[in-house]
Amino acid sequence: MRQPVRKSAVGKLKDKVAIVTGAGGDIGRAISLQFAAEGAAVVCADVDLNTARQTTEQIEKQGGKAAHVECDVTDSNAAKESVSEALRRFGALHILVNNAAHFLRDATLPELDEAEFNRAFAVNVTGAFLMSRWAIPHMVRAGGGSIIHIASQMAHVAREKQATYCATKGAVLLLAKGMALDHAADGIRVNSLSPGGNATQGMAKPVGGTWKQAETGVGAAKATPLVVSAELRKMPMQQCS
């Protein structure tokens, strides 16, 4: 069962503008819906424009403000355009969630080809770099902001046959720490969030394509696509605002 989106009576993100990458996926959609429920205007960015549009429609149906944009985060021009869309539609940018991710099939390094390895780093690491690169100057102009990198439990504890994915998420973890030091004086907070296993469509693909197989694959038979929204609710929203 999907968890309901809980709207704060306070509106902790009122008048804030956020970009969420991978907003058409389950975790990205959960984040986008929760941010909108807290009062943020959300730009839903995804390589799949149709799923980004669906997230936007869900937000608008619940009375929130949103826009959607097609964005391959590995493309610098697409990343820049996503930031520009936030400025065009809502006039500023305060929050960036680097959630877009590429999950690999189970394989040892000799079993992966270079294209698979490079794609994982391009999406998971270079994508976070490109989005942040274009977003930060506008956050500085806005007087500060918040960047949240979605890492993984596998940034902390390795998993068999997922060395490459673990390496990408470990890189994201330290990228966040380094950026936090670099931009504290600009009023920009940079954090990472490391979800555990979630039975999402993205997880389902490399383990067979069904929700049940995804649940088995992540060892989380009771997981839901919106588990991460519960984790976000535990985070003081002032960290995002």
Place of tokens 């949240």: 148
165 a catalytic residue: yes
Tokens at residue 50, please?
Answer: 């149709």
What's the Cα-to-Cα distance from 116 to each of 7, 32, 92, 109, 125, rounded to whole Å? 40, 28, 36, 10, 14
Residues 6+ apart with CB under 8 A from 174: none
Tokens at residue 77, please?
Answer: 């021009």
Which position among 45, 165, 183, 195 bears the catalytic label?
Answer: 165
Active site residues: 165
